[in-house]
Amino acid sequence: MIQLSNVSKVYPNGTEALKKVSLFIKDGEFVFIVGPSGAGKSTLLKLLIREEKASFGSIHVNGLDLMKIPKRKIPYLRRTMGIVFQDFRLIDKMNVFENVAFAMRVIGSPEGGVKKRVKYVLKLVGLEGTEKRKPHELSGGEQQRVSLARALVNRPQILICDEPTGNIDPERSYEIMKMLVAIHQRGTTVIVVTHEHELVKEFGGRVIRIAEGEVTHDTFLPTAYNPEPYVQTMTETDEEVSSEQESDLTEQKEATDETTQKNAFGQEDQKKKEADEE
């Protein structure tokens, strides 16, 4: 669950990137964020992952109050999210396998499960066989998919993508989008920032438009991929959930999805380490 109330962001140089934005995004929604360059889209995403802190207002993500969250707890917030950055942010020295595995290791996943899970996720994004290559030995579209694999590897509750199709040809863009829809259908909240109107028209769902730091439209565009507004079936609490409860939540979502591969995003029972930031 994502909730913003009257959120403003003023950068140190005085730029007011967001102005009194209020938004509620339910668990399991599929959301496009559109708007002109400089509108504040990336700023919004940065606030959600707490890369930037809001200047005013309140933000809650997955039960955590981002205005109050101490620094040491930020990794705990990010464990619940997968992020595909506009510029990939892959580590050049590491090969494809290591780039994705690193995301698991950094949150303390037991080494035993890493190999299997990374292999699985790379297959899911169509990158089987590229494990040993370095990012610079891949095409733009392949790098994008490594970035997506890395975002998915920890089974995020929320997947955030900043221009995930920005650097690739239309055919690949379409493939990436279809992948995001499939991930959404397995219960993940998916938020996609894009400039590409064609993709929005094709895939639809909730479309939020930001212009000059303000939300100017928030509508639902029905399509074959997203035929109707998402109805939340689970009850929400605004309280902080423990990591144990959190993984239960993930399992619960997956258990209800019988038509797709049951284990798609939860095949190993990833026992999270004790919430060490606690």
Residue 7 Cβ vs ligand ATP, minimum distance, rounded to whole Å: 13
Is 191 within 8 Å of 25 (Cβ atoms)?
Answer: yes
- What is the DSSP code (8-state) at residue 104? H
Segment interacting with Mg ion (CB under 5 A) among 17-25, 40-48, 49-57, 199-207? 40-48
The answer to whether 42 contacts Mg ion (rule: CB under 5 A) is yes
Does position 37 bind ligand ATP by CB under 6 A? yes
Quote the least distance from Cβ 42 to ligand ATP, whole Å. 3
Q: Does 43 bind ligand ATP (CB under 6 A)?
A: yes
Tokens of 11: 């950068």
Tokens found for residue 101 = 């595995």
Binding to ligand ATP by CB under 6 A, coded x per residue (else -) over 7-26, reads: ----x-x-x-x---------
| C-alpha to C-alpha distance for 170 and 174, rounded to whole angstroms | 6
> Which helix (DSSP H) or strand (DSSP E) does residue 148 occupy?
helix 140-152
Q: Between 38 and 229, whose beta carbon lies closer to ligand ATP?
A: 38
**Is residue 141 within 8 Å of 168, Cβ to Cβ?**
yes
Query: CA 89, CA 102: separation in Å to the nearest integer?
Result: 13
C-beta of 100: minimal distance to ligand ATP in Å? Answer: 25
Q: Does 164 bind ligand ATP (CB under 6 A)?
A: no
Neighbours of 67 (CB within 10 A): 14
Question: By CB under 6 A, is residue 130 in contact with ligand ATP?
Answer: no
* Max CA separation in the chain (angstroms): 51
Query: Nearest residue to Mg ion, using CB?
Result: 42
Smallest distance, Å, CB 32 to ligand ATP? 13
Count the neighbouring beta carbons within 10 Å of the beta carbon of residue 258: 7
What does the binding site for ligand ATP look like in residue numbers (CB under 6 A)? 11, 13, 15, 17, 35, 37-43
**Binding residues for Mg ion (CB under 5 A):** 42
